[in-house]
Amino acid sequence: MKVTILANYAPNAYKGLIQGSDREAAIKTLFESVGGKVSGVMFTRGIYDIVVNAEVPDQAAGMGLALAVRASGSVTDLVVLEELDMKAVLAVANKAAKVYKPAG
């Protein structure tokens, strides 16, 4: 499953960055620990400090690593975007649309 992670560092984490903490290596190790693989890490200017594009074996692996990072206190925001199979989503949506009766 492909994921994109958007995150902001907490103030205490900036100290580690300034002192030379290799966050890209740490992120790759984190993903590998759950059977995943990182395809790209970008440090950004704007709404988020970092963007990670990666693959994880399943939703549990993706959410588990996100939970571990959140629990560390090193980020203030963390968004996990999962890639969708739109053909499968649209097939289900079309079935549901045929039987759904809106209120009113």
Question: How does pLDDT run along the chain (104 residues), one tens digit per residue?
Answer: 999 999 999 999 999 899 998 999 999 999 999 999 999 999 999 999 999 999 999 999 999 999 999 999 999 999 999 999 999 999 999 999 999 999 98
pLDDT at 31: 98
Can you give the residue range of the structural domain that contains 15?
Answer: 2-99
Res 92: pLDDT: 97
Backbone φ/ψ region at 34: left (φ over 0), alpha (ψ -120 to 50), beta: alpha
Q: How many domains does the chain have?
A: 1
Is residue 104 in a domain?
no
Instruction: Flag whether 79 is in a domain.
Output: yes
In the block, tokens 């580690």 appear at: 16
CATH number of 94's domain: 3.30.70.920
Q: Is residue 14 part of a domain?
A: yes
CA pair distance 7, 50, nearest whole angstrom: 5
pLDDT at position 89 is 95
The β-bridge relationship of strands 2-9 and 50-55 is antiparallel
In a domain, 82, yes or no: yes
